[in-house]
Structure 1
């Protein structure tokens, strides 16, 4: 008997609401969950982990229905579960169509909208299944020998494109079959580790015939090749695309291995012809990232995202379009001096919608290709959009902010005169939780930096903020290093839970972040200890002038580059701060240069190797390594790290902790043997929050009398 999803979620999901239909509890279409009252209307770790997290969204062919997935987490069981929902295009009649312990995800409408295809692990591995839009008549469509990680049916419905791992590295047992229990890994070249895994496989794109019931004639497009498509660690089905005629597949691939792979970001867009088996590289002349191809609906064009420079993973992400008949290529997003984060062809093939960040907000834009690549901004407001789909005269998109996680919205696909496009919220997945919470005010402030530039800084205030009181205040240091401090919602670095613990949060868009022009974004490369650090001081010093900020109770927190920032500031802050927290940060730059797996990142950001004595940029970088300034550490510090983090190894946090203790500085170390650069397991996430606030409260809040 299948495990009851109600039982699965009863302990940890009791706060979460499903779908948001008013009559859900009456008609029984959604899982009923008991209510729990949130004491004091303040955000808690348990409330965060009780929230449903909306994933993939798919519009039916007739544009009358929307299918989507939601992930739920159980803290007691320390695991997650994915369920599928369907609603009308206006948000009405929202109903849950799966109720079991299997992982169901990536819904796609097939067979003219009569069926929904999805990934499910019910058979023991992740395979493609189908069912009716009401959840009935489930049927397994694939029985591939491994896990299927993503899929796309051809436009004519006769073929299936899917992603699966293939073995690319000979194992120790392969070399020494008489030593089956030996655990040693023999390494002969880079990249032997990536993100959180020892690399033994690569994802490949497969094409198979589909007769409506199953697949046959499975063909590996990269048969015999050791390359990745899509590319690790983030790539998915968005890096592959069917032609409208169902006769070609465009795919993203960096056809390099070993050291060449480790030092280069030069990926290309290839077009594979199913009839001939021939492959054409259409971006060979570009030396940076080329990713995420999409054919225009009329089949005359193909668009993709493109970075220009090899080795620079945070280069300007441009939108390119190629005329397939003439071969002409155009940089169509030239008027937008920031990254194109995702895009979607309009139905008439004459314009493209995309999302991109500008001044700390990710909005929706349209480029008119027939009108000299005219740029039109559609949306406005203190929020970020993510993902796009067309539905009649609407765009279906996910939207979040610092005060609310992802929900699905319908956005008008054109502006009404000078007014921005109207948006209507369709899902209310976590309304039951938000209704019990009081969120802190989020405010945008522009500050003048030490070099006379204007810097946007987000300030988040505690709920029931009283300007006549004095509050402990936290400087938030962003990671990336070139990730925007936009209106992001995080289930760990969540500003509202920090505010709920009576902290003011100061989150600057310091030098080295997108959304403020190319020059601002690139100012951090080779200058980790330079202007970006001065920008941090500007943000906290400006806020410390406010009468409601207790300048004697300032803290500093951050992860990844933000963790590096904390370690660096600990040796340079001139007693500004009374507590530090660094998560997954770089402590020793020389070791990081050799330890990290993506060498292109270290080469570009650090300016070269530390042994290049004549390289002024590299020498400046390594001279600013935080470990060189430990003699100036004098402030309590909490170091957090995951041992499965191969981007920044856990020994960085261990070394920082050891240095602090040996210096006589109060310190604490939180190590996760089973986490990577993130903290993904529910109980580890709750532990992270509790440890985070226990540490801050200990040093930034006066002892209770």
Structure 2
């Protein structure tokens, strides 16, 4: 049947439950946004109404200088609509110029949401005085099956084009962005794309890559997701080695120039550490400024609180060094 919107609400819902005995239907869920930590809410679909049931974080959140996310759409090079968010720094002054940090989500079957996250906290990354930019490149979920499948056989080049085009669009629309000071970063699939940007453009002054692949073949041979890679590329690498090599970052090692911060968990089975070590070896060989962080007690994500603090501190220092 036809999809009918129930609420016109910003933010993100989660853990939705149906009150089985309530008539008319009542839903209970968590709800939060990038400026509001999650709370429990009641949703009355018939009334198209949402009401808060808890307010544990309201007072604390109100004291923080968080600005709501801005959003816009643009058309990519295939004519598909692409959605993006802009995160402003604290004490934002539209008359000033701010560096741009392009943050790339993982997945690829994922999307940026208007909500608070731990692993890539938008406002924490913006706090030194950066505009943080989030775009749902082709392959993201939430925009129809055709959009999600648009990277089959084209896992990095197409999404990379969307990311660069989105940054161009943001610079054109928002005069407070300093186009001469851009950086990019991401983890997992976002790390794959960060490494791809290292290989294919010099527009960024610095890059941050956590759990990114070095080549499609390296990732195929060691990851716990071998079959997924074959589905993406239409078969194993020996059936079309040129196609696999064409979208592998290390194939363009001679073009590596951008300073890059590399990070990986030693217990990562999704994007094993050999990918990052290979990237680091190539960067050292090409004499590109690089820093390597290996987390012996982490897997695909940095989840331990103290490690997370160190990670954010290192990212902030890296961006400050190259965006000053």
Class of the TM-score when normalised by the shorter of the 2 chains = over 0.9
| Equivalent in the alignment of 1:642 | 265
Aligned residues: 319
Shift of 1:687: 0.6
Query: Which of 408, 413, 431 lines up with 2:40 in the alignment?
Result: 408
- How far is 1:594 from its partner? 1.1
Bigger-Rg structure (1/2):
1
1 CA distance for matches of 2:99 and 2:229?
36
Match of 1:674 in 2: 297
1:612 aligns with 2:239: yes
2: CA distance, partners of 1:374 / 1:523:
24
Aligned mates of 1:397, 1:698 — CA distance in 2: 42
Q: Is the 8 A contact 2:69 2:87 kept in 1?
A: yes
Aligned-residue offset at 1:565: 0.4
Alignment deviations for residues 78-101 of structure 1 (CA, whole Å, 9 cap, x no partner)? xxxxxxxxxxxxxxxxxxxxxxxx
> Could you list the per-position Cα deviations for residues 522-541 of structure 1 after superposition, in whole angstroms to 9, with x for gaps in the alignment?
00122113321211111111
- 1:167-207 alpha-carbon deviations (Å, 9 max, x no partner): xxxxxxxxxxxxxxxxxxxxxxxxxxxxxxxxxxxxxxxxx
CA contact (8 A) 2:182 2:206 kept: yes
Q: Match for residue 31 of structure 2? A: 399
- CA contact under 8 A between 1:559 and 1:582: conserved in structure 2? yes
Task: State the distance in 2 between where 1:606 and 1:579 align.
Answer: 29
3-state SS in 2 of match to 1:671: strand
CA contact (8 A) 2:69 2:114 kept: no
Aligned to 1:380: 8
Q: Which has the higher contact order (CA 8 A, sep 6+)?
A: 2
Consecutive unaligned residues in structure 1, runs of 5 or more: 1-372
2: CA distance between counterparts of 1:447 and 1:529? 19
1:594 has 2:217 as partner: no
What secondary structure does 1:523 align onto?
helix
Please give the secondary structure, in 1, of the residue aligned with 2:313.
helix
Aligned residue runs from structure 1 range 359-508, under 5 A: 373=1, 375-391=3-19, 392=22, 393-414=25-46, 416=47, 421-508=48-135
1:567 positional shift: 0.5
Aligned to 1:564: 192
Name the counterpart of 2:318.
Answer: 695
Give the Cα–Cα distance (whole angstroms) in 2 for the partners of residues 642 and 673 of structure 1. 6
Q: Deviations over 1:218-275 (max 9, x none)?
A: xxxxxxxxxxxxxxxxxxxxxxxxxxxxxxxxxxxxxxxxxxxxxxxxxxxxxxxxxx
Of Structure 1 and Structure 2, the greater helix share is in 2
The runs of 4+ residues in structure 1 deviating greater than 6 Å are none
Q: Secondary structure at the match of 1:438?
A: coil
C-alpha distance in 2 between matches for 1:438 and 1:376: 35
Hey, what's the Cα distance between the residues in 2 that align with 1:625 and 1:447? 27
CA distance in 2, matches of 1:413, 1:538: 38
Query: Which residue does the alignment assign to 1:553?
Result: 181
Q: Secondary structure at the match of 1:376?
A: coil
CA distance in 2, matches of 1:547, 1:413: 41
**TM-score of the superposed pair, with normalisation by structure 1:** 0.44
| TM superposition shift of 1:499 | 1.9
- TM-score w.r.t. the length of structure 2 is 0.93
Q: Is the 8 A contact 1:566 1:582 kept in 2?
A: yes
Q: How does 1:14-163 map to 2 (within 5 A)?
A: none
Structure 2 CA distance, aligned partners of 1:604 and 1:428?
A: 45
Counterpart residue number, 1:583: 210
**Which digits, 9 at most, give the CA deviation of each residue in 1:440-486, with x for residues without a partner?**
23111111222333211111111221111110101111110111122
Equivalent-residue separation in structure 2 for 1:635 and 1:375 (angstroms):
45
**Structure 2 unaligned regions, length at least 5:** none
Distance 2:203 2:211 in 1: 23
Name whichever structure is richer in strand by fraction.
1
Q: Partner residue of 1:539?
A: 166
1:146-170 superposed Cα distances (whole Å, 9 cap, x missing partner): xxxxxxxxxxxxxxxxxxxxxxxxx
Distance of 1:529 and 1:394 partners within structure 2: 43
Instruction: Mark the CA change 1:687 to 1:432 in structure 2 (over 3 Å): closer, same or farther.
Output: farther
Shift of 1:435: 2.8
CA contact (8 A) 1:560 1:585 kept: yes
In the alignment, which of 285, 288, 291 is matched to residue 662 of structure 1? 285
Alignment of 1:331-342 (within 5 A): none
